[in-house]
Amino acid sequence: MKHFTCLLVFFLVQGSFKAQCDVKNRVFPDQTMYYYVEPVVFYQTEKNRLRGNIITDKENYFLQFMPEPFPPKSENKKFKSPAEVHLSSGTTYTLEYYDYRYRRTDSTLALMFLLPKKQLNEFKEHDIVWVNLDVEDEKGPRHYVFVMHKAVIREQMECLESK
């Protein structure tokens, strides 16, 4: 019975890791194939939420954030501001804006930022502590302290590289 319990726990742990490493793909409007793992929640209060994930086209890596609330598409905002990302190593990086899109019938705003190749190892080795994002609204730049899933970006990068 003891061996059966150990074996069952082993398979449950294995299964949960594989579920977290479920790589999906999507062709974007520019005909580029992107690979990603489902976004997770990093920060949530009654009024604000930040979800995000890593995306790759197998050549570059992008950090994607989905802040809520966000300006409606009808306001025709042009998101161009970089993101500030602070890692557990104590280093703060300014990530270059790459793209944005409204998804799921305009119910989600996704902002993509390019991870420079020379800084990839930093993001693979250290957790994200906080992020500053400017969603071009009257509140100004938003500061999100990662309360949940701090290591998920590292884990997603490892997952995408292993596939």
Domain at 84, CATH number: 2.60.40
Separation CA 1–CA 5 (nearest Å): 6
Q: Is residue 18 part of a domain?
A: no
Q: Which domain holds residue 95?
A: 23-162
Average pLDDT value for residue range 133-162:
89
pTM of the full predicted structure?
0.82
Q: Is residue 50 part of a domain?
A: yes
Q: Is residue 40 part of a domain?
A: yes
Q: Is residue 119 part of a domain?
A: yes
**Residue 163: pLDDT band with limits 50, 70, 90:** confident
Count: domains in the chain: 1
Q: Is residue 8 part of a domain?
A: no
Average pLDDT value for residue range 86-109:
90
Do the Cβ atoms of 147 and 43 come closer than 8 Å? Answer: yes
Q: Is residue 15 part of a domain?
A: no
**What does DSSP say about strands 83-87 and 108-115: parallel, antiparallel, or unpaired?**
unpaired
